[in-house]
Amino acid sequence: MSTVVNGGRSVTVGTAGRISYPIAVTVKDDSGIKGLRRLSTFNRSNLYGFVEWSGTTCVKKSRTTSVCTGTMTADAYWIRDSDDIDSNRVAGEWTVNLSVEAQDGDHRVYYGAAAYKVRRAAKLTVAAPAKAGKGTRIAVTGQLTQANWESRKYQGYAKQTAMLQFRKNGAARYSTVRTVKTGGAGKISTEVAVTASGSWRWYYPGTDAVASAASAGVAVTLK
């Protein structure tokens, strides 16, 4: 038996709206597989959760083996009721419990069938001058915010390491220039020398509880 959650990616939840993601279970029995009987997921450390099992489809791969995919649904407005102290504690590493029914009536229960991350969404902004002389030092600023599931608002995220990245015009990807700690209210700022036209952005790699984020790129052109 193998279980893959959301295609192997973490699940990110913001402050509003509803999301769905798959839990795919590949399972085998000599009589064949009838389907999933139970499917649940919750935080591994405190056993709280806010995700509902909302449907399943099973695809037969052979006489004995099927892939049953359960659809899990979460609404940001459900989260605040998931923990009576602070619903933000529900972010982090989650686990999956499930049971499978075979065609002959047997069923098997799997505890801890998979582990994955459910993370609070994050946002980053960026600002910089539109033009600068070659070699001129410019200030690149921004702000990192994280979803607060209790208040259902985004709040500044201080004391986090963000990366200032640059992509020269014509280049395929961004490269990290330096790392900077966010200050109060998640504000971030640094000075860099401009040597070429291109785009600047901030990138935050995330944690187990808070998702990664990248700002849009801001173009700075040489005068």
CB contact at 8 A, 88 and 46: no
Same domain, 116 and 128: no
Same domain, 7 and 78: yes
Mean pLDDT of 8-15: 98
Which tokens is 212 given? 């990664």
Mark which of 101, 120, 139 sits at the end of a domain: 120
Q: pLDDT tens-digit profile of 87-112?
A: 999 999 999 999 999 999 999 999 99
pLDDT for position 131:
96
Mean pLDDT of 64-74: 98
Question: Considering its fold, how many domains does the chain have in total?
Answer: 2
- Confidence band for 202, pLDDT divided at 50, 70 and 90: very high
Q: pLDDT tens-digit profile of 12-28?
A: 999 999 999 999 999 99
Same domain, 89 and 167: no
CB contact at 8 A, 217 and 201: yes
Same domain, 168 and 141: yes
Same domain, 76 and 139: no
Give the amino acid at 5: V
- CATH number of the domain enclosing 97: 2.60.40
Mark which of 85, 120, 155 sits at the end of a domain: 120
Same domain, 138 and 210: yes
Count of alpha carbons within 13 Å of 95, Cβ hemisphere only?
A: 12
Largest CA distance in the chain: 76
Mark which of 95, 120, 145 sits at the end of a domain: 120
CB contact at 8 A, 163 and 202: yes
pLDDT for position 166:
98
- CATH number of the domain enclosing 164: 2.60.40.730
Per the structure, the complete domain to which residue 65 belongs is given by: 2-120
Strand stretches in the chain, DSSP E = 2-5, 11-13, 18-28, 33-43, 51-60, 65-75, 92-102, 107-110, 115-120, 122-127, 131-132, 137-148, 153-156, 161-168, 175-181, 187-193, 198-204, 213-214, 218-222
